[in-house]
Amino acid sequence: MLQPNDYPLSVQFDLAAGTFAPITSKSERRLSEMMQSFYDVDAARAIVEQGDRVLYEVLYSPFETSKSDMAMCVTRIFPGKVGDEYHMTKGHLHERDDQPEIYFCLQGEGYLLLQTLDGEFRAEHWTKGTLSHIPPMWMHRTVNMGADTLVFVSVYNLSAGHDYEVVEAKGFKMLVVEREGQAVLVESEK
Ligand code: M6P
Ligand code: ZN
């Protein structure tokens, strides 16, 4: 028998605003929660001491049924830099090794950084309309290198899980920084 959450459900996007409704929950990620992520630790500390900064927000809608656990969210990365490194997500690896994810860029310009545990690295350049498939077992982080908010939709299973520690421990091979007014990928010294 169908349970109450087994019925179809739609949300409505406002593409110009980069939001949707109804939103089940919303969370914010502050720089103080990402002190291991940016290479310029002094720049990060100075911003946090002056009152911290919200780097991105995640608007969330679980499409859970009695037999499935798909979720959808919209991540909005605000423009800006910490030192010369562009605002980005904390980045994670799925805890389950059989879980992919779809990201779809609605607004803005950036990079999706991907890396395996063996050190294979990819940087997917994003503009409005880019859709990327994240295969299982690739760490993933998104960087906003534009002047506007970078907005993307993600679709994944809740049971995938988020492992942040592996990203903090290994880091990504490349950083996205501003050099002479241009966004460039440079090798990380971590
Ligand atoms: C996307 C999805 C979410 C993730 C969010 C922010 O919306 O991948 O699962 O939580 O980005 O990324 P992070 O969890 O790395 O901070
Ligand atoms: Zn993910």
CATH number of 41's domain: 2.60.120.10
Residue 3 lies in a domain: no
Residue 151 lies in a domain: yes
- As a 3-state breakdown, the chain gives helix, strand, coil percent values, each rounded to 5, of 15, 50, 40
Measured from the Cα of 60, ligand 1's closest atom is: 7
Tens digits of pLDDT across the chain (190 residues)? 999 999 999 999 999 999 999 999 999 999 999 999 999 999 999 999 999 999 999 999 999 999 999 999 999 999 999 999 999 999 999 999 999 999 999 999 999 999 999 999 999 999 999 999 999 999 999 999 999 999 999 999 999 999 999 999 999 999 999 999 999 999 998 7
Q: Single out the residue of 85, 89, 91, 105 nearest to residue 188, CA to CA.
A: 85
What pLDDT is attached to residue 190?
74
- Residue 117 DSSP label: T
What residue numbers bound the domain in which 150 lies?
11-187
- Ligand 2 (ion): residues with CB under 5 Å are 101
Residue 1 lies in a domain: no
Residue 6 lies in a domain: no
Residue 39 lies in a domain: yes
| 157, amino acid identity | N
107 lines ligand 1 (CB under 6 A): no
Listed in order, strand segments (DSSP E) in 32-144 are: 54-64, 69-77, 81-82, 85-86, 101-107, 110-116, 121-126, 131-134, 138-144
Residue 92 lies in a domain: yes
Measured from the Cα of 160, ligand 1's closest atom is: 9
Total domains in the fold of the chain? 1
137 lines ligand 1 (CB under 6 A): no
Residue 150 lies in a domain: yes
